[in-house]
Amino acid sequence: MPLLYETARKGATINEAEIGMIVDKLKPQISGEVRMDKYNRLMYSTDASMYQMTPIGVVIPRTADDVEAAIRIAKEHGVPVMPRGGGTALAGQTTNHAIIIDFSKYMRNIVEVSPEERWAKVQPGIVNNHLSAAVRNHGLMYGPDPVTSARATIGGGIGNNSCGPHSVIYGKTLDHILEVDAILSDGSRVHFAPTTGSLLEDKMSENTLEGAIYRETRRLAWENSAEIEQRFPKILRRVMGYNLDDFMGEGPMNLTRAVVGSEGTLVAVT
């Protein structure tokens, strides 16, 4: 599998003929929108940050199938994908020479709410405040409250491990995301949740990308535990690097905790 910087280099130098080939493959497979014209590429070349990078194009998915198709086609052409929510991140996290996957237009629904158990299953493009408004009658709200909560999405918060003025009381995104459905770089689907016992052993022994991720995450955390213990900053919210400090113990593994704060570099959350 090509490394991220190699795909970004390909994305930066891709020619119009190959973009045309990508469009021809995407259009029959995407039930949402495929926008690869110059106008849309310029529109999506920036976000709330000062950075600008012209993307290869934009896919606006209606379903996880659309996301999977976009990732598989990007892989065939050796170019990166870049998930995007509200685009309010401040460090250029949603700008790249990539196929942008914009979750904010269609994949913004609430799937299920359990007021008794205080959880909600949502699509990643839902705006934070829309979720809070929908559960207000139950006396509930979504905890992490970045200043941009009127525009920012749950998926973007997962990318950034977002927090806000009340996070000292209510916690940051890492404290609130229980499980995720996601699509890996080879287009395979995963569900990350607390995993233990024979299920964890089965996952570890799978000859798949998912299996390799379980094995490598644990190996990295265990082999470097002294360094992680000594050098990871002990602060309330951290968003640089991956949360390897969460995988040092022998208990259940929940790879959701690696996805939070990963800035769209590991998976697309669906």
Residues lying near ligand FAD in the complex (CB under 6 A) = 47-48, 82-90, 93-94, 103, 124, 146-148, 152-153, 155-160, 162-164, 263-264, 268-269
For ligand FAD, the closer CB: 11 or 87: 87
For ligand FAD, the closer CB: 32 or 264: 264
Interatomic CA distance for residues 137 and 247, integer angstroms = 37
For ligand FAD, the closer CB: 58 or 269: 269
For ligand FAD, the closer CB: 1 or 199: 1
Interatomic CA distance for residues 182 and 191, integer angstroms = 6
At closest approach, how far in Å is the CB of 3 from ligand FAD? 18
Please give the C-alpha separations between residue 3 and each of 101, 213, 230, in angstroms, as whole numbers.
19, 15, 29
At closest approach, how far in Å is the CB of 1 from ligand FAD? 18
For ligand FAD, the closer CB: 73 or 123: 123
- 73: which 2 tokens? 């086609």
At closest approach, how far in Å is the CB of 123 from ligand FAD? 9
Q: Is the distance from CB of 174 to CB of 260 less than 8 angstroms? A: yes
Q: Which residues contact 106 (CB under 8 A, 6 or more apart)?
A: 32, 60, 61, 62, 125
Helical (H) or strand (E) element with 60: strand 57-60
At closest approach, how far in Å is the CB of 160 from ligand FAD? 4
Q: Is the distance from CB of 8 to CB of 82 less than 8 angstroms? A: no
Please give the C-alpha separations between residue 199 and each of 93, 101, 157, 212, in angstroms, as whole numbers.
34, 32, 29, 15
At closest approach, how far in Å is the CB of 265 from ligand FAD? 7
For ligand FAD, the closer CB: 73 or 126: 126
At closest approach, how far in Å is the CB of 2 from ligand FAD? 19
For ligand FAD, the closer CB: 155 or 196: 155
Helical (H) or strand (E) element with 10: helix 4-13
Q: Is the distance from CB of 155 to CB of 136 less than 8 angstroms? A: no
Q: How far is CA 195 from the centre of its chain?
A: 20
At closest approach, how far in Å is the CB of 256 from ligand FAD? 12
Q: Which residue has the tokens 């995007």?
A: 84
- Do strands 99-102 and 57-60 pair parallel, antiparallel, or not at all (unpaired)? parallel
